[in-house]
């Protein structure tokens, strides 16, 4: 099996991840979930994903589909990279166990489907503002907030590129 096959095996739909969910739960694996657009992956993303992975045994990343990003009204130019590219980049990370796209504005229904043990978001959120926090807390799970790496954001990178172009 080639390296590209390993990456492809980490990319899932709700249907294809069912078997893995059952397996992970059978073996009492602690499932961690985080989500985002991950348009231009930068140090802040790598840092938060690596920290999220440390909270459990399995890291599942919910990725906003192209349609979902547009629903969020992220600066009309987003996403800069299509969902296929963003999915493959995340799946290539050794500490990411599964990537699953979602089309809705928030991942709440995906979180309800996955029933993770730990829900993780970056430090720009408060627990009560995190989609799906009630679902995770009601089942006895945890919600973790990771501090952001100062100076790293897709918006800042996009701004720098535009300034350099002028």
CATH topology of domain 3-165: Rossmann fold (3.40.50)
The order of strands in the sheet holding 58-64 is 11-12, 98-102, 58-64, 31-36, 118-122, 142-146
pTM score over 0.85 = yes
Of 19-23, 52-56, 66-70, 118-122, minimum mean pLDDT range:
66-70
Q: State the pLDDT at residue 166.
A: 60
Q: State the pLDDT at residue 75.
A: 56
Average pLDDT for 115-126: 93
Does the pLDDT at position 140 exceed 80? Answer: yes
Q: Predicted confidence band at 145 (pLDDT cuts at 50, 70, 90)?
A: very high
Does the pLDDT at position 118 exceed 60? Answer: yes
CB–CB of 105/132 below 8 Å? no
CA angle 24, 97, 79 (to 5 degrees): 135
Q: State the pLDDT at residue 74.
A: 58
Using DSSP, state whether 145 is helix, strand or coil.
strand
Q: Predicted confidence band at 134 (pLDDT cuts at 50, 70, 90)?
A: very high
Instruction: Quote the distance between the C-alpha of residue 151 and its chain's center.
Output: 20
DSSP, residue by residue, 33-84: EEEE--SS--HHHHHHHHHHHTTSSEEEEEEE-HHHHHHTT-TTT--SS-HH
Q: For 75-104, how does the pLDDT look when each residue is reduced to its tens digit (9 = 90+)?
A: 577 788 999 999 999 999 999 999 999 999
CB–CB of 36/106 below 8 Å? no
């Amino acid at each position: 099996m080639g390296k590209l096959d390993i990456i492809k095996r980490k990319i899932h739909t709700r249907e294809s991840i069912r078997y893995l969910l059952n397996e992970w739960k059978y073996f009492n694996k602690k499932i961690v979930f985080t989500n985002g657009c991950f348009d231009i992956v930068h140090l802040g993303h790598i840092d938060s994903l690596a920290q999220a992975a440390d909270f459990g045994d399995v890291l599942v990343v919910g990725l906003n589909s192209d349609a979902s990003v547009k629903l969020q009204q992220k600066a009309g130019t987003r996403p800069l990279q299509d969902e296929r590219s963003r999915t493959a980049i995340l799946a290539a990370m050794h500490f990411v166990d599964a990537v699953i796209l979602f089309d809705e504005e928030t991942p709440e229904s995906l979180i309800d489907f996955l029933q993770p043990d730990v829900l993780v978001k970056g430090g720009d959120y408060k627990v009560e503002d995190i989609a799906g926090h009630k679902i995770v807390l009601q089942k006895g799970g945890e919600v973790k907030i990771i501090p952001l790496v100062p100076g790293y954001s897709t918006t800042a990178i996009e701004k720098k590129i535009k300034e350099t172009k002028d």
